Chains A and B, each alone.
Chain A
Amino acid sequence: MNVLKVSRLTIAAFVLPCLIIYVGIVFVPIIVSMYSGLLDWNGIGESKFIGLENFRNLFFHDPVFWPSVRRTLMFAVFSMAEIPVALLVAILLKRYVRRPNFLVSSYFLPVILSVVVVGQLWKTIYNPASMGGMLNQVLTTIGLESWTHTWLTEPAVAMYSLYFVALWQYLGYHTLIQYTGILNVPEEIYEAARIDGAEGFTADRYITFPNIIPIFKISIVLAFIGSLQSFDMVMVMTGGGPAHATDVISTHMYNMSFLSMKYGYGSSIAAFLVVLCLAATFLINLIFSKLEKRFS
């Protein structure tokens, strides 16, 4: 229970500056976008109100839409699945390395680099062997020639190639977050546990994990946000191609709004995205409030 009883004016002074900027710059445009989703509008000329027509087309007649939703959700699933790995790396760092700061910082490097760099690098790695692609060259050298692919252009594998790049890039990000989470667990608890004979992974099971659930939640949320906003990387590496095989919700929205010049339709995708975000936020909150209850 919150204890501070304060005047309305104080509340306003604390909350309003933040809230006003947020509502004006994020909330209002979202509402506008949702409204635009009801229009037949190319973004430039005159617009016509067509009710839910865009949504009808989106849900029932757009062959690109549902696959792009599926890819976005898969993106999220892979990104979240990476977090336990990052947690493991963080635990290993804490336990086995005396001065881990340098390592943590190194892992974090790919996150700082711009998507242009990361995209260009991985395109070079994924290239066909004849174009100097490292991955295929390595596979050929170790006798796995049948495993070689043109990684970014075969519809069946292209999306997985993209997932992998994202996993690689954000490993250090989640490791850093988990690592600081572990550092925040007071050392005395571990010492007490050691006296009780709990060490190593047993200690992690009963101490580290319950203590970093809030941090874990932050990581999950960030992973989800990252996968919904995977726009840049997809654009740099495949542009959504070949033939929409790597389109995600955000690239589809962009293509519709600005390339096909169906801004109204693009906005209906944006509205869907907002609803999806809401659902995800509530789901994550629900799961974690249950988790927190169980462990406390």
Chain B
Amino acid sequence: MNTSSVVQLNQQTATARRRRFSVAKTIVILFLSLLVVTQVYPLLWLVLYSLKTNEEILSGSFFALPHSFQWSNYSAALEGNYVRYLLNSLFVTSVTMAAVILLSSLCAFAISRFRWKYGQVVMLLFLVGMMIPMQATLLPLMIIFKNIHVLNTHLSLILPYVAFAMPIAVFILSGFMRSIPHEIEESAVMDGANVGRIFWSIILPVSVPPVMTVCILTFINIWNEYILAATFISSEKLKTLPFGVNSFVSQYSVNYGAIGAYLVLGALPVIIIYFLLADKITQGMVAGAVKG
């Protein structure tokens, strides 16, 4: 039996299987679509919520449409400094992400590719802090920040955001970098490339998939972060988006509709960016995989 007939035979059984599986396929597609409904529903719910009156919201009827669209909720939400908060959030988040990626990939590179004694010790140090919740360090951080005079600046958010994202980033990146074949840098060394060059032109481009993962993780951890932000930032002009949501929760009244509107406005840029980039992210990951 020659190879081509094997392939042919396999193709035949594959087609037969495909037909047999079409029922299974329908079920699977149905299941996957149902999942979409359950996962996307909250967003629709939120949009409806943001257009209702307080009474309608609290009467809790789940599927009901608002009697009349309360666009005033949106104007109330925009009154609360939305644009400034958004810009601040974007700034803090992007600086944090850039810093996390750069610093932790440098460190991960050293841990996974350098020949030195203390690589594992450093890794261990990061593992220790990997699971610590930020809230547990609130008070000591306050004291440290007071002494290095960064309270009430964006640095007082960026520093802890970066620091707390590092362990998991180093963990993921070094795990990936370890799997890159050593021949790559061996030949690079022979060509006379220095370490910086190997890192920048060889390792980093190949590491796109884990870097994307780190980006996403970092992002979702800090975009809605409120406790540190509320504690370290006092100036109106420096506040971030979560302040906006919470500003509608006052002592004895809650303006639910406006909160909803604010949450929609807060989630919107993220969702837009995410859906625009989603294709690129997965493509990047696949591309990285082929190179690796």
Direct contact of A and B (CB under 8 A): yes
Which A residues are within 8 Å of any B CB, using their own CB?
1-6, 10-11, 13-15, 17-19, 21-30, 32-33, 36, 43, 89, 92-93, 96-97, 101-118, 120-121, 124-125, 127, 131-134, 137, 168, 171-173, 176-177, 180, 183-186, 194-195, 197, 199-200, 214, 217-218, 221-222, 224-225, 228-229, 231, 250, 253-254, 257, 263, 270, 273-274, 277-278, 280-281, 285
**B129 and A222 form a contact (CB under 8 A):** no
State whether the Cβ of B1 lies closer than 8 Å to any Cβ in chain A. no
A94 to B36, CA, bound (A): 16
Which residues of chain B have C-beta atoms less than 8 A from A273's C-beta? 132-133, 136
Which residues of chain B have C-beta atoms less than 8 A from A92's C-beta? 28, 31-32
Q: Nearest Cβ in chain A — how far from B208, in angstroms?
A: 11
Given contacts A124-B60, A184-B289, contact A3 B186 (CB under 8 A): yes
Which B residues are within 8 Å of any A CB, using their own CB?
6-7, 10, 14, 17, 25, 28-29, 31-32, 35-36, 38-40, 42-43, 45-46, 49, 59-62, 103-104, 106-107, 109-116, 119, 122, 125-137, 139-141, 143-144, 159-160, 162-164, 166-168, 170-172, 175-176, 179, 182, 185-186, 189, 195, 198-199, 209, 212-213, 216-217, 220, 223-224, 242, 245, 259, 263, 266-267, 270-271, 274-275, 278-279, 282, 285-286, 288-290, 292
**A19 and B130 form a contact (CB under 8 A):** no
B106's closest neighbor in chain A, by CB? A14
Given contacts A26-B164, A172-B39, A225-B168, contact A17 B106 (CB under 8 A): yes
**A112 and B270 form a contact (CB under 8 A):** yes
**B131 and A224 form a contact (CB under 8 A):** yes
Q: Nearest Cβ in chain A — how far from B186, in angstroms?
A: 6
Which residues of chain B have C-beta atoms less than 8 A from A105's C-beta? 274-275, 278
With beta carbons under 8 angstroms apart, the residue of A103, A217, A278 that contacts B128 is: A278
Q: Nearest Cβ in chain A — how far from B127, in angstroms?
A: 5
With beta carbons under 8 angstroms apart, the residue of B32, B49, B104, B182 that contacts A93 is: B32
With beta carbons under 8 angstroms apart, the residue of A14, A29, A112 that contacts B140 is: A29
Q: Give 19 CB contacts A-B under 8 Å.
A: A3-B113, A14-B106, A17-B106, A18-B107, A21-B163, A22-B125, A29-B141, A33-B139, A36-B140, A108-B39, A112-B274, A121-B45, A121-B46, A180-B209, A180-B212, A199-B17, A222-B217, A228-B131, A250-B135
Q: Nearest Cβ in chain A — how far from B147, in angstroms?
A: 11
B246's closest neighbor in chain A, by CB? A116
Count A-B contacts at CB 8 Å. 278
Which residues of chain A have C-beta atoms less than 8 A from B115's C-beta? 1-6
Which residues of chain B have C-beta atoms less than 8 A from A1's C-beta? 115
Which residues of chain A have C-beta atoms less than 8 A from B31's C-beta? 92
Which residues of chain B have C-beta atoms less than 8 A from A124's C-beta? 60, 62
**B220 and A111 form a contact (CB under 8 A):** yes
A221 to B159, CA, bound (A): 23
By DSSP majority rule, is chain A's interface helix, strand, loop, or mixed? helix
A6 to B114, CA, bound (A): 7
A33 to B45, CA, bound (A): 41
Q: Nearest Cβ in chain A — how far from B244, in angstroms?
A: 11
**B170 and A18 form a contact (CB under 8 A):** yes
Which residues of chain A have C-beta atoms less than 8 A from B29's C-beta? 96-97
Given contacts A22-B163, A110-B39, contact A218 B175 (CB under 8 A): yes
**A214 and B175 form a contact (CB under 8 A):** yes
Which residues of chain B have C-beta atoms less than 8 A from A17's C-beta? 103, 106-107
With beta carbons under 8 angstroms apart, the residue of A2, A13, A111 that contacts B112 is: A2
